Structure 1
């Protein structure tokens, strides 16, 4: 759920759905505090920031969509079916090898009453989304088995209702040999399944102050599964604010999280950080968005690279895989442009550069790319 407008209704729905909680979750120890965050909080953030971003992107809300690391490819976002169930699938690659598939289950949508009703009734009270989530995980597991990808990890994640679905899936066999998903990492999850006392690689990041904490009072699930953190962003039950916070904290120690911070410049210091430190301090990098260029024609590549250097919004990155990929093909006077965001093509444009100097044509390429950038990122630069 993105906002607090439906907090009360969703909380009641979770309770009616048989919620159970894990008593009072103890605070994490606070050792080796740096930049306002303990080593335990920083370790938790490093473990979870990417999954929080994926859980947020599962809502398919463009104003809040993260630019993901270039090693992550969004397969597709599957919108609401007849009972309001929705999810997204992402693949993570290591050295061009598929290393992990992540299923991100969408949480409660509060913007539309019809979707809110489906999520509250079919998702929380009747728990019909649980079986849909399990069917999705079993289909993904069958694909993995079919490819013989024995080392591939399957992770489930989600926020609120989506987190409840993910934990349910982690408690059930998904493979023909009885195997389960590799791990579950969820955020402010609906606690309907916390009464299942079963070991497993499951982590629930819960915010101090989140309204669903009331549902975690009587559960039997081991408290070690829950990891509390105080980002002071729980007022609206927003996974996006929590993902911002976790990414920011992780960026102090982890290069990948720092790179994510740089390509999502709208992320700000969490309200709970009582230290003015910024993980980007000392980084001689502009706030422009990193983009990878894939251009076979040498002259065109040089011209586009020069045009990108003059851009306020973009910078060419040759050291790290970014969330933006630009492909340009030049044949005679025609130039074809494809922009990929998170591995998905979001722009296909053909330009007629007949009689146009190469530098002007390259500038036109960059112009159409800049126009296709998400508004919230353009405004943050």
Structure 2
């Protein structure tokens, strides 16, 4: 009987610390903080929730050539220099190719191993032999699990490979980074279960024609979701952008119409972004509505509110809106800045360059309360803005700072009157 229980225990699921799982009373569970390993990239630490959690499975997706491999190559080099053995497994490049790119971005280390392989049995044997603390799989769509009778990159293969990688991460307390290709729609290729199985899902976004890259967390079992990290791509690799608000505002014209600055919250970080609008009379029968970095349906809703509540005749106007800098904004607090930028372009009247706008817009024209207003206003003041428009209800139970003028508005008409006067 004892031998049977021992055999069953050896096949049981293990925890992040490698201990065999067993039923425990909730009052007896030790809730000590999960240890984290800090990298030298503070932006990556922020997105991961404070650092790398040992034994976690992290999926990084992004367009081809955006810099996923470069990011992981830099992190691998940094970890290996701190006496953390790293195994970089590539199914797309040879060892010479990886070495050439590593030399270009000055990555090296005695504990850094390169292994061009796609067979999961060979990879598992190598991991058992080297016993690394970190494993990078580049990419999951090129790996092949034995016993699965389907082509490499198929749904069945990706599911089987991910299951084996999860066993490696949880069973041997090895942190595994997995690179995933994305489809034309921008989602990670393969079954949706791939994202459900991993602990953290990060998206590396940006435009190949520009140098800035955004690392966004969309799932994180160990930290906040929708966290944001900003990097800049150079010939020597990726560097951090310490103050992204300055980056998003650096090319803003002072006297331009159709421009408004919003203080948006990405995870725990407030960032200032310029929202731009161009309103022109339509030439065709149906007016066009185009949005870049913004929700097109939200733009249409805001324009309908402006037409009904603020008496702006927009039904025969083409509207082109964008969030400057390539960032994507999708929270309700950007509504007021959207409305101000649209009205500014329509009336051909600019806003003050030192004004910022925060607030959600209701269908009846009211400006509704938003969360974490103190952090948002403090960020605007830090960047040198002199006046910030916020929902009037956010002024309750809060003392505004003295280094910036805080204007509480209750309706969109009140905000338009003060901002575009």
Say whether the fold is shared (TM-score over 0.5): no
Higher-RCO chain (CA-CA 8 Å, sequence separation at least 6)? 1
Q: Which has the larger radius of gyration?
A: 2
Superposition TM-score, scaled by structure 1 size: 0.30
Identify, as 1 or 2, the structure richer in helix: 1
